[in-house]
């Protein structure tokens, strides 16, 4: 079986796929329907049908179809999340925001959290999973994304602690329906400047929803709106946790400071990029 992994890895590597061996293992485990960690212990030979499936996976992958969307799931923080082309692929960089929000939620004994642009739900569901009494509301402008997030809530047994709302933060009626008693607001909004989208890697620009990437001319459109609506939705001394793009942290902080927030902290992701901006009401 190690040979099967190696064979797939070699093809992936020829096509400049990083982490070729890991991806090959994940593909094989998925097709054989066994846990990747058990690959070395139980290793049935792929049958003809499974070999065909593997060939199809490899063919799509070398055309830069993202692995997680081929396999339909992505590991993020502590869980596997269902993903599709209707949601942004969860990124390890975002785990930093999740860890910070969990620590704050526990310390301040938070009761209620809002996620603006929930996508797969990976952020808010990871937080709810670790903070027992917390309840959440998750907003997304994509109905298809909400369907995926609901599946994830159910898989994690969190469906009774979260309410999903379909709509946009540019819609005043929707915003006023969310309420104004949140302890914490989290968001990983679209932040790529429109003209930079064509330069993103193919996995991203062709397979993440454009609506989850495009932040307008300067990438700040959604932060401006979120800053304008979130102050009144938060309780006194509430916090906002935002993800930002490379080099955007100061501009994001300023946009929120203008609305009355105080910068609490900026956290780096695993790659050393200033990724998570924390602001206090
Ligand atoms: N992190 C994504 C990327 O750089 C963008 C996600 C977003 O706009 N929120 O590809």
pLDDT in tens, 88-123: 999 999 999 999 999 999 999 999 999 999 999 999
Question: In the prediction, which pLDDT does 279 show?
Answer: 98
Contact 65, 71 (CB under 8 A): no
Q: Could you report the per-residue pLDDT of 192-202, keeping only the tens digit for each?
A: 999 999 999 99
Q: Does 1 score more than 60 pLDDT?
A: no
Query: Given the CA of residue 190, which atom of ligand 1 is nearest to it?
Result: 8
pLDDT mean across residues, the chain = 96
Q: Could you report the per-residue pLDDT of 3-27, keeping only the tens digit for each?
A: 788 899 999 999 999 999 999 999 9
What separation in Å is there between the alpha carbon of 213 and the centre of ligand 1?
6
Question: In the prediction, which pLDDT does 185 show?
Answer: 98
Question: In the prediction, which pLDDT does 178 show?
Answer: 97
What separation in Å is there between the alpha carbon of 133 and the centre of ligand 1?
30
Question: In the prediction, which pLDDT does 38 show?
Answer: 78
Which residue has the CA at smallest separation from atom 5 of ligand 1?
213
Averaged pLDDT, 117-131: 98
What separation in Å is there between the alpha carbon of 9 and the centre of ligand 1?
27
Question: In the prediction, which pLDDT does 45 show?
Answer: 82
Confidence label for 140 from pLDDT (cuts 50, 70 and 90): very high
Confidence label for 207 from pLDDT (cuts 50, 70 and 90): very high
Worst-scoring range by mean pLDDT, 39-43, 76-80, 84-88?
39-43
What separation in Å is there between the alpha carbon of 190 and the centre of ligand 1?
7
Query: Given the CA of residue 191, which atom of ligand 1 is nearest to it?
Result: 8
Q: Is the CB of 20 under 6 A from ligand 1?
A: no
Beta pairing class for 135-140 and 162-166: parallel
**Whole-angstrom Cα distance, residue 250 to residue 231?**
19
Question: In the prediction, which pLDDT does 2 show?
Answer: 61
The share of the chain scoring above pLDDT 70, in percent, equals 98
Question: In the prediction, which pLDDT does 26 show?
Answer: 94
Q: Could you report the per-residue pLDDT of 228-259, keeping only the tens digit for each?
A: 999 999 999 999 999 999 999 999 999 999 99
Averaged pLDDT, 128-133: 96
What separation in Å is there between the alpha carbon of 271 and the centre of ligand 1?
14
Which residue has the CA at smallest separation from atom 10 of ligand 1?
204
């Amino acid at each position: 079986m190690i040979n099967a992994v190696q064979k797939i890895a070699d093809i992936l590597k020829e096509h400049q796929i990083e982490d070729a061996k890991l991806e090959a293992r994940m593909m094989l485990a998925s097709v054989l329907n066994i846990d990747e960690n058990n690959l070395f212990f139980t290793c049935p030979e792929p049958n003809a049908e499974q070999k065909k499936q593997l060939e199809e996976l490899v063919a799509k992958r070398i055309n830069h179809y993202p692995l997680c969307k081929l396999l339909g799931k992505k590991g993020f923080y502590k869980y596997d999340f269902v993903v599709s082309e209707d949601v942004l692929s969860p990124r390890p960089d975002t785990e930093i925001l999740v860890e910070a929000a969990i620590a704050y939620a526990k310390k301040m004994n938070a009761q209620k959290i809002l996620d603006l642009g929930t996508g797969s739900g990976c952020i808010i569901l990871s937080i709810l999973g670790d903070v027992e009494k917390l309840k959440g509301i998750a907003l997304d402008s994509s109905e298809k994304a909400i369907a995926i997030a609901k599946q994830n809530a159910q898989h994690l047994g969190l469906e009774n602690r979260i309410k999903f709302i379909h709509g946009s933060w540019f819609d005043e009626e929707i915003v006023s329906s969310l309420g104004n008693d949140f302890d914490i607001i989290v968001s990983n909004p679209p932040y790529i400047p429109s003209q930079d989208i064509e330069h993103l890697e193919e996995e991203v620009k062709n397979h993440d929803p454009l609506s989850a990437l495009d932040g307008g001319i300067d990438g700040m459109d959604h932060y401006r709106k979120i800053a304008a609506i979130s102050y009144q939705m938060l309780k006194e001394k509430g916090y906002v946790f935002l993800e930002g793009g490379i080099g955007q942290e100061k501009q994001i902080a300023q946009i929120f400071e203008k609305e009355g927030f105080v910068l609490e902290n900026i956290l780096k992701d695993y790659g050393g990029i200033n990724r998570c901006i924390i602001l206090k009401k």
